């Protein structure tokens, strides 16, 4: 009887000791890179660094953000799709690379099959912004300006086929105006030129634009979700400004290569969800307008699938073509 008791106790103790080891095995064993498809300073880059720092602290390893800008984020996505599934290479997926561009052109990756969803980080409005020198600082005045100067008012974006580009196309379609689209390799360089006066307006991500708006270098005209973001309670929506139903968001979420085990993705999902409710992270997300993040791996997978279908229909209905 004593031997049986000892054996049962030993097994129980071994299981208790093994549990943390089994948990650890579902996390990367070395430094982790989060690949971002846009230049430093843009919304994707900012959120990747916020989340990456917290994950590095929790995983007790180095988490590095690596920028591979170009082609509306698809260069980075193509790179990640080909990586091993050991968790050492992750990707901050973006509406451009995983929902919009797949509806515009043939890619070297499948936005659903070649990636393992981990967690939605946040959904943001875009901010319609301009530099302080521009005369039109309301939606009505901007429409009038575009009508008075057809094809002459410039709008910057993070690239051809980007969320900012399609927000502009939606605006032109609904307002019945024509403007000049000026693509960049990310929000960072575009904002530099907007503030400097090389381009006049942009439907940029709230994440990237907010520091410049708060700092007084850019003016926020409107935001593009149906409800006002908590971080910009005094900026009207496009719907409130005469464009009912206008909604053009940007979203970000962490994914791994398609070869990543689902168990590892779920383990990482736990820590991303923990990070998203940390007070300092919540403060940064709110300031950037990033809301509705978190939830399960399955929820994020379904979200991306719905977005991909939605934007494919918009692209077809609006006759948007890829500029190559």
Tokens standing for 227?
């409800």
Q: Which tens digits make up the pLDDT trace of 31-89?
A: 999 999 998 988 899 999 999 999 999 999 999 999 999 888 999 999 999 999 999 99
Per CATH, 10-124+250-318 and 126-223 having the same topology is answered yes
pTM of the model: 0.79
Backbone φ and ψ of 124, nearest 5°: -125, 150
Domain-by-domain residue ranges, the chain? 10-124+250-318, 126-223
Q: What is the pLDDT along the chain (324 residues), one digit of tens a residue?
A: 444 444 445 444 444 444 444 444 589 989 999 999 998 988 899 999 999 999 999 999 999 999 999 888 999 999 999 999 999 999 999 999 999 999 999 999 999 999 999 999 999 899 999 999 999 999 999 999 999 999 999 999 988 888 898 899 889 989 999 999 999 988 889 999 999 999 999 999 888 899 999 999 999 999 999 999 988 999 999 999 999 989 899 899 999 999 999 999 999 999 999 999 999 999 988 877 889 999 999 999 999 998 898 888 878 877 778 765
**What is the structure's pLDDT at 29?**
84
CATH 3.40.50.1970 fits 126-223, yes or no: no
* Side-chain half-sphere exposure of 239, counting CA atoms within 13 A: 11
**What is the structure's pLDDT at 11?**
46
Q: Which helix (H) or strand (E) holds 177?
A: none
Considering the domain 10-124+250-318, what is its CATH architecture? Answer: 3-Layer(aba) Sandwich (3.40)
**What is the structure's pLDDT at 241?**
97
Which residues are within 8 A (CB) of 166 and not within 5 positions of it... i.e. 6 or more apart? 100, 248, 311, 314, 315, 320
């Amino acid at each position: 009887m004593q031997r049986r008791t000892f054996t049962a106790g030993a097994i129980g103790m071994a299981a208790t000791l093994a549990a943390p080891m089994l948990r650890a095995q579902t996390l990367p064993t070395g430094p982790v890179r989060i690949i971002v498809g846009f230049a430093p300073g843009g919304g994707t880059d900012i959120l990747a660094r916020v989340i990456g720092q917290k994950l590095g602290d929790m995983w007790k390893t180095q988490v590095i953000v690596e920028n591979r800008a170009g082609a509306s984020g698809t260069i980075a996505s193509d790179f990640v799709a080909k990586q091993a599934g050991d968790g050492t290479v992750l990707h901050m997926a973006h509406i451009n690379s995983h929902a919009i561009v797949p509806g515009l052109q043939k890619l070297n990756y499948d936005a659903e099959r070649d990636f393992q969803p981990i967690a939605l980080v946040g959904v943001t409005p875009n901010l319609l912004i301009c530099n302080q020198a521009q005369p039109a600082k309301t939606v009505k005045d901007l429409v009038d300006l575009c009508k008075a100067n057809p094809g002459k008012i410039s709008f910057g974006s993070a690239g051809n086929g980007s969320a900012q580009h399609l927000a502009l196309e939606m605006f032109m379609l609904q307002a019945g105006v024509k403007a000049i689209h000026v693509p960049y390799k990310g929000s960072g360089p575009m904002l530099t030129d907007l503030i400097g006066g090389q381009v006049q307006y942009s439907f940029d991500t709230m994440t990237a634009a907010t520091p410049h708006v708060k700092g007084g270098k850019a003016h926020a005209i409107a935001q593009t979700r149906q409800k006002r973001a908590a971080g910009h309670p005094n900026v009207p929506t496009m719907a409130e400004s005469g464009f009912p139903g206008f909604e053009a968001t940007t979203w970000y979420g962490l994914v791994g290569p398609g070869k990543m085990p689902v168990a590892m993705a779920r383990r990482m999902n736990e820590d991303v969800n923990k990070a998203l409710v940390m007070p300092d992270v919540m403060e940064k997300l709110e300031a950037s307008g990033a809301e509705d993040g978190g939830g399960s791996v399955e929820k994020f997978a379904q979200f991306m699938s719905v977005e991909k279908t939605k934007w494919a229909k918009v692209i077809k209905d609006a006759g948007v073509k890829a500029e190559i």
